[in-house]
Structure 1
């Protein structure tokens, strides 16, 4: 059949397949990675190394049987195949795509150069790979060479209302001399709060919103920068600009009761830095934060991650971070010895970056002097603006997702913590429900005071979730080109592509991805404005969709560690991580921790992460087991945002516990912890037995209240026999297809994910497709038809109480990949080495294109279909095995590249498990199937 690969898929395949004509059957290692990054500047002292395999086009069934790694202190040693740090020797491969460095002990700052070669199934050895490198991070407190935490010398207020007063963000600086030629320089820097470094007047613009949000008392992620090009012989200056970030939040009572300062480690913003400069004669110069640094108030008068910032450009200090600036009037910093260096760890997760700017679409004026800038999409980030106004002009910017019918800004769906009114206190005074000093309505707002003469403004120490920006105080009518939008997000690399012949599905995918990338500012948040918390339930609902669309290895490894760090003293895992005091959602939110551990092993082979974090999951399971009543889990949320009767109670929480216990048992088996596996299995069996006795009607298949949520939870989470599952599924189908506008779902964030999966798994992809392509309420199409550019918090939508940017219903994207395209990691996969390709050919679609760039290489499943049959183009990467399931009746004619299926190379036909599905075992390669009915 003619190729239906898109150009980007074809380019990736060619890059994987073509490398050397004289080694046609050998497997060349490519894309060498250390801790998931190319040539990282700050890797652990015992890092994990990985690579992908490339083979000649047309070769099928290539398997790596052994590898050899050489690691040297100088690249020239590798050129003559000498390894003074580690020579692994020829090592028999296992299923893990990652290798742990096992050479000589490494020191902080050490540079390591490495290359690898592999052997295939025929014993042929490949050429050596290209040389890659890594540098060892600062691992121990002594590696910081005397650097200490410093702040501006002020103390935080003792009264809540005083936190809302002017408190300029501090600047800090130090000058130093470099007397010798510079060969290499690395700046290691972290803040508590936000910290932006600069050298000789140049801000290090490749990062924003550092450090990433973690449980700061357990883990602080520092950044390492290559600053070689910014330094000079002679005088130099290192500057640090500090903001409040998550370390010094306002004492607002979110929802009238939750003060983040009571849950988070908090304090005055501070920073630590260590600059190490290497010279041509082999010597080093080290500059560290200490008592000789000086500080001064900067032009940002107020800054809050929720409320925004006030910036007075008239107070900007020109050239403050250059060596020629006279800082004699600056005051000394304060050294803080009350915070240890042990939590400092190198950032492995993707950094937060700003996207390329995009121009706003239109500017309207609903009333005199009020302008509304429409950026055309709901997004998370910053405005970048140009003004030409007199000095002292005060311009107020407010942000929101919606407009009122009269065209004015509606900021109410993005108000922090639903702080929207004042209350009268017992003494008769009136204050905001947000507490003393808090605004009556905690909307997102920036205030800019101009310096005059034409200027540009972009906020520094905050970000916003918005589509519309209201401007007041501007003395002229602006133009759309005066305003640019900048996405702010963790720099996740795209790994998945999906498209189909139904444009509605393509738009749903687009809006889902926009929801995803607007909720990853260091944590996967529920929304980018009102709360910004990493809720476990939202991640459970969408993690597989994220994993199919993006490289989530580093981001989700951080997420797992965040949950481990946030564990409560009794062992329970929290609803959010970092922990913000929310502790009522229960098992369904805490289960994100073991879920991600298993998914990261399936997708990336992250065994070490399991060994590191599984103890926390086991402690949690033990704690939850002890809290059961009659072996039932009686507390916690059920199917969040389901429609109709309240979807909660033991009928929903207990299956999630059973499912988590089974998962933890599997994880324990992976690392050989048999006793923990047996205990987890016992918990699952106890609770499963109790749940079935209490909620399952074996005669009808009805579960508890019989809601779609109850039925889907039983299918997706509970332990029941296949016969019982069939009854449960039939009961679900009757409910799903009963309404006049059937099929009609009533599920929340969990049940919706399970519903689409179970329908496809059980042969009813037609109904799953009808739900995905539905346009009336409740549906994704309903959201789009009502102007959504991001997913809503609930099916109905809202003009005030609910967020219009919540990714938790984004599980539909996983269904696109896993079932319409059919790309699935097997349950026992290790780094995607076992693959299922199960494309669902539904009559309403003419074609589907889907691909996923796994850690082992590109997986492709594209198909076209008509009344006569279907054609499938499938690519299986090297060093993997796939089971392909094609829709084909027993009498259908099936060919591969024009040959009868039994004659095709690299394939083995397996016994059928269902009448109309042909099962094929496939080795790696590029296949073209044609099914003629």
Structure 2
């Protein structure tokens, strides 16, 4: 027999290779890239991050298959859509990168400069090496990156606010100004963008039309230091010939007392620069300067934009000027704009804008006394109010807003409309917002109809990232009220304590809201913006009511001290309030795998911890500051007065110091700051020993007064030595179940750490016991009292829409649905599924999902009458999960109809403590298992 020649072998191998290639080409990729994002945002305009991060999700081609993952990616970025469509990445072609990374892929192409347009798409290689089709295109644009790119001047009106004597303080009398500038274009533009920064809100009009659907722009910033600019694309609004740009400013934050500086007037000001590209390459630049004309608008802020005096709006329709922002309008009698020169750092608006997100129609209107009408909106809300009115010219219609059914007005929130010459018109909010459920209407000579009135919930337009429903109606109400409250409190790119009275971004309240928010909404950009606000306020004093001239004004921060709110620089608190600067970046990292957020904010964390060392003696913090400067827990049941001088507060703040130190050590380790990590761990150990020695009560196995939150935070920071932990846990259980008869007994900050501790320990039973109550103190009592949002205090005696107790919202997704991030593999690349099965007749089923950066995670469980658990879960492509499946007999478990050992897409690792531990790859699964029979007395 002849030996095959080398040529023959080569031909055979070539034929096999071609056959394999054809086979691979005929196969369909298991995933398709979708939901492209840049810096968490969808097609953002005018960003100022020069190495933006790109993310995408993978949609499974076959939803019944398993194991879909990415083994490679190729990103193309082009300077034009045409080049991208032709597969030309003139800005960046990554080539096929062998990587499963689909989140936070750093742009590594040509250096990015001001005004650039960047069109991009991605394709991926799946687990079998098959390449997907290209994604749909996405894009981002660059803003003005250098100070020298700006040629505009800050302008405004010469009318300046002066706070007048009296109590309550007399209303602001500076009208919201109009500004306009006309110009001529030789041709219709190819592209046009305008960059607008303002102190106070602004609206943009081009040739008589409002641009975009956003409201209350920009997001709130610390205007002692920073102004954010918003980028608008306006080419479609422009034309050949004469054009006009109009700006309608709102007084709002321009007169906030803590933002007052010598170089900046207390009046709304704006900086705007339009870059207009014409055919042939010619560019026209329109900038704000003294050539602009200004006139008072019919709208004026009521109130003085300060604590308890946010007021509303007065719209005088007699002062309307038809066509004020149209091309043919004659502005010759308008005044020239006034030029100002504030020292403000300019940065891009890189958070979702405020929008109307939900329409609300009134449910009832009643005449409460002669000529006075009471409107019930059916829900306590924050947003815009709108009403059609008619009457005699000059007739004043007043709207008073209330959270309480028996009060005409709460927190002095009210607006007015003066009817114009036509005898009819529409009041609508523009530069301020209301909060409440009831509206008292005075000044009408007729009963308004339901269809005359509407309201819109207004908030930062982040995406909803969850759903939840269960068989317990009380828990469903708590869930819905908690989320409504969060939405009401997150207008302007930060979370306020309350929208009606203070509008302050308290760090203490942040502990109560952040994990709740991250479980239910897409908040990557939102919280990235808010943590920048915390950097901006670092370095000044932190006393309640700090006067503006003592606030931080420069970036050259020597002191690491922080006030208790950001970006508002106001209010009381203590170490836990300011120490939110450490926990917020860590929470963002845990949910989104965002290492950059840790790197950027670590200098702030260092300075904060260095400041705390100046307040320590004998390895413990000592009391500092004024009456409001060293608070512990806040608004627990029965709380009275200010608690900065109590032994309990001293204990709580020192425990929180340990929490800050150990969190900072984790952060330092993640970003490679090993010396700092070791230093903070060692310091935490020193403080831990000192605090335990001083505050432990061995006869009671307790600390200080034994309140739930204090015991919980002690456990959270490993305060008790290992041998004492079981006794402290027993003491905490006794405090909940026996001393408080199953009720919660904690406030804002200690309550947040109570729930964090119980969730970390998987004590669903204890949380359910507290959440399922409807007697004092409880969320259920709020429901019984007819509330639609969560109140400020358990007594329900102040604000009825407040951030205080929103930490319960975390439990619905992490606890009952059991969808938890894995802290060792952050960002949900790997996560934990551990459904919270509650042994209670009311808890027969739960349905929930959470949308992480990789896609949708689902968890649905139900228990039948024979105590058989059916669990349906979905693991998105390119992720893995560890499932803890409760079972009485793991050999009887089925997965998608098969025995566990034979099921696809998973691996049974072990069984421990009544749970089968199963590693899951991407896919959809249905498990059934028998639960242990629980003996009942």
Provide TM-score, normalisation by structure 2. Answer: 0.88
Q: Offset of 1:301 from its aligned partner?
A: 3.9
Alignment counterpart, residue 511 of structure 2, candidates 540, 552, 556 = 540
Query: Which residue pairs with 1:732 in the alignment?
Result: 732
Alignment counterpart, residue 603 of structure 2, candidates 599, 615, 639 = 615
Task: Note if 1:565 corresponds to 2:569.
Answer: no
Query: Which residue pairs with 1:182 in the alignment?
Result: 189
Query: Which residue pairs with 2:858 in the alignment?
Result: 860
Alignment counterpart, residue 307 of structure 1, candidates 301, 307, 311 = 311
Q: Offset of 1:33 from its aligned partner?
A: 1.0
Give the direction of change, closer, same or farther, for the CA distance of 1:796–1:21 in structure 2 (3 Å limit): farther
CA distance in 2 between partners of 1:266 and 1:334 (Å): 11
CA distance in 2 between partners of 1:701 and 1:96 (Å): 49
Q: For 1:320-399, what aligned pairs fall within 5 Å after superposition?
A: 320-340=324-344, 343-399=345-401
Indicate if the aligned counterparts of 1:541 and 1:809 stay in contact, CA closer than 8 A.
Answer: yes
Task: Note if 1:47 corresponds to 2:47.
Answer: no
Give the direction of change, closer, same or farther, for the CA distance of 1:887–1:318 in structure 2 (3 Å limit): same
Give the direction of change, closer, same or farther, for the CA distance of 1:662–1:778 in structure 2 (3 Å limit): same
Give the direction of change, closer, same or farther, for the CA distance of 1:792–1:349 in structure 2 (3 Å limit): same
Query: Which residue pairs with 2:175 in the alignment?
Result: 168
CA distance in 2 between partners of 1:90 and 1:528 (Å): 49
CA distance in 2 between partners of 1:763 and 1:517 (Å): 27
Provide TM-score, normalisation by structure 1. Answer: 0.89
Give the direction of change, closer, same or farther, for the CA distance of 1:195–1:75 in structure 2 (3 Å limit): closer
Give the direction of change, closer, same or farther, for the CA distance of 1:681–1:310 in structure 2 (3 Å limit): same
**Worse overlay, 266-275 or 174-183:** 266-275
Give the direction of change, closer, same or farther, for the CA distance of 1:157–1:737 in structure 2 (3 Å limit): closer
Indicate if the aligned counterparts of 1:877 and 1:925 stay in contact, CA closer than 8 A.
Answer: yes
The residue matched to 1:783 in structure 2 has which SS?
helix
Indicate if the aligned counterparts of 1:793 and 1:808 stay in contact, CA closer than 8 A.
Answer: yes
Q: Offset of 1:501 from its aligned partner?
A: 0.9
The residue matched to 1:298 in structure 2 has which SS?
strand
CA distance in 1 between partners of 2:826 and 2:855 (Å): 14
Q: For 1:108-507, what aligned pairs fall within 5 Å after superposition?
A: 108-144=114-150, 146-157=151-162, 164=171, 166-249=173-256, 261=260, 267-304=266-303, 305=305, 306-340=310-344, 343-404=345-406, 409-412=407-410, 415=411, 443-451=412-420, 452-507=422-477
Query: Which residue pairs with 2:881 in the alignment?
Result: 882
Give the direction of change, closer, same or farther, for the CA distance of 1:262–1:472 in structure 2 (3 Å limit): farther
Indicate if the aligned counterparts of 1:201 and 1:322 stay in contact, CA closer than 8 A.
Answer: yes
Give the direction of change, closer, same or farther, for the CA distance of 1:94–1:718 in structure 2 (3 Å limit): farther
CA distance in 1 between partners of 2:263 and 2:867 (Å): 62
Indicate if the aligned counterparts of 1:295 and 1:330 stay in contact, CA closer than 8 A.
Answer: yes
Query: Which residue pairs with 2:84 in the alignment?
Result: 78
Query: Which residue pairs with 1:426 in the alignment?
Result: none
Query: Which residue pairs with 1:5 in the alignment?
Result: none
CA distance in 1 between partners of 2:126 and 2:38 (Å): 23
The residue matched to 1:76 in structure 2 has which SS?
helix
Deviations along 1:8-40, whole A, 9 cap, x unmatched? xxxxxxxxxxxx995445443221111222222
Query: Which residue pairs with 1:668 in the alignment?
Result: 668
Task: Note if 1:835 corresponds to 2:831.
Answer: yes
Indicate if the aligned counterparts of 1:264 and 1:580 stay in contact, CA closer than 8 A.
Answer: no
CA distance in 2 between partners of 1:682 and 1:155 (Å): 54
Q: Point out where structure 1 has 5 or more consecutive residues left out of the alignment.
A: 1-19, 252-258, 416-442
Query: Which residue pairs with 1:68 in the alignment?
Result: 74
Q: For 1:887-898, what aligned pairs fall within 5 Å after superposition?
A: 887-890=886-889, 893-898=892-897
* Aligned length in residues: 864
The residue matched to 2:872 in structure 1 has which SS?
strand
The residue matched to 1:774 in structure 2 has which SS?
coil
**Worse overlay, 545-554 or 457-466:** 457-466
Indicate if the aligned counterparts of 2:41 and 2:351 stay in contact, CA closer than 8 A.
Answer: no
CA distance in 2 between partners of 1:121 and 1:723 (Å): 47
Indicate if the aligned counterparts of 2:872 and 2:927 stay in contact, CA closer than 8 A.
Answer: yes
Q: Offset of 1:172 from its aligned partner?
A: 0.7
Deviations along 1:874-905, whole A, 9 cap, x unmatched? 11112222111011124661110111112222
Query: Which residue pairs with 1:432 in the alignment?
Result: none
CA distance in 1 between partners of 2:263 and 2:515 (Å): 29
Task: Note if 1:707 corresponds to 2:701.
Answer: no
The residue matched to 1:653 in structure 2 has which SS?
helix
Indicate if the aligned counterparts of 1:25 and 1:59 stay in contact, CA closer than 8 A.
Answer: no
Query: Which residue pairs with 2:552 in the alignment?
Result: none
CA distance in 1 between partners of 2:684 and 2:319 (Å): 63
Query: Which residue pairs with 2:567 in the alignment?
Result: 578
Query: Which residue pairs with 2:633 in the alignment?
Result: 639
Deviations along 1:791-812, whole A, 9 cap, x unmatched? 00111211xxx11111221111
Q: Offset of 1:205 from its aligned partner?
A: 4.6
Indicate if the aligned counterparts of 2:386 and 2:454 stay in contact, CA closer than 8 A.
Answer: yes
The residue matched to 1:246 in structure 2 has which SS?
helix
Give the direction of change, closer, same or farther, for the CA distance of 1:165–1:567 in structure 2 (3 Å limit): closer
Deviations along 1:579-627, whole A, 9 cap, x unmatched? 4333x41221122222121121122222222211111011101211231
Query: Which residue pairs with 1:926 in the alignment?
Result: 924
Indicate if the aligned counterparts of 2:357 and 2:461 stay in contact, CA closer than 8 A.
Answer: no
CA distance in 1 between partners of 2:795 and 2:161 (Å): 43
Give the direction of change, closer, same or farther, for the CA distance of 1:294–1:760 in structure 2 (3 Å limit): closer
Q: Offset of 1:49 from its aligned partner?
A: 0.9
CA distance in 2 between partners of 1:750 and 1:861 (Å): 30
CA distance in 2 between partners of 1:806 and 1:264 (Å): 35
Q: Offset of 1:912 from its aligned partner?
A: 3.5
Q: Offset of 1:50 from its aligned partner?
A: 0.9
Deviations along 1:695-737, whole A, 9 cap, x unmatched? 2245653112212122112123344455432211100111222
The residue matched to 2:280 in structure 1 has which SS?
coil
The residue matched to 1:247 in structure 2 has which SS?
helix
CA distance in 2 between partners of 1:762 and 1:101 (Å): 40
Query: Which residue pairs with 1:513 in the alignment?
Result: 483
The residue matched to 2:462 in structure 1 has which SS?
coil
Deviations along 1:264-308, whole A, 9 cap, x unmatched? 976321111112222232322221111211111221244444022
Structural RMSD (CA): 2.3
Deviations along 1:31-69, whole A, 9 cap, x unmatched? 111122222222233211111122332332333233221
Query: Which residue pairs with 1:107 in the alignment?
Result: 113
CA distance in 2 between partners of 1:685 and 1:913 (Å): 32
Give the direction of change, closer, same or farther, for the CA distance of 1:403–1:76 in structure 2 (3 Å limit): closer
Give the direction of change, closer, same or farther, for the CA distance of 1:95–1:684 in structure 2 (3 Å limit): farther
**Worse overlay, 395-404 or 846-855:** 395-404
